[in-house]
């Protein structure tokens, strides 16, 4: 999240057995990842919704 409480990206931890480092942390693009999930997940009506509690940094 940025200093205004907006989403900056999605932090993902990937365990890659063939890599020199066994675990890799990356930050992805939420919009692109949601679009990919909507296209390929098979979940009809998949969308992002507001949370139930305000974020407090």
CA gap 26, 30 in Å, rounded: 12
Q: Which of 33, 13, 12, 31 is nearest to 21 (CA)?
A: 13
pTM confidence score: 0.56
Would residue 21 count as lying in a domain?
yes
Note whether residue 53 is domain-resident. Answer: no
Within-domain flag for 45: no
Structural domain span for residue 17: 10-40
Element (H, E) at 30: helix 30-40
Segment (H or E) for 10: strand 10-15
Q: Which residues contact 48 (CB under 8 A, 6 or more apart)?
A: 30, 34
Going residue by residue through the chain, which has 57 residues, state the pLDDT in tens, using 9 for 90 and above.
Answer: 778 877 777 777 766 666 666 677 777 888 888 898 999 999 999 998 888 887 776
Number of domains in the chain: 1
């Amino acid at each position: 999240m940025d200093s205004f409480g907006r989403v900056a990206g999605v932090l993902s931890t990937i365990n890659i057995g063939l890599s020199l480092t066994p675990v890799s942390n990356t930050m992805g693009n939420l919009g692109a990842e949601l679009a990919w999930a909507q296209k390929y997940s098979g979940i009809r009506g998949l969308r992002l919704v507001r949370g139930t509690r305000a974020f407090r940094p």
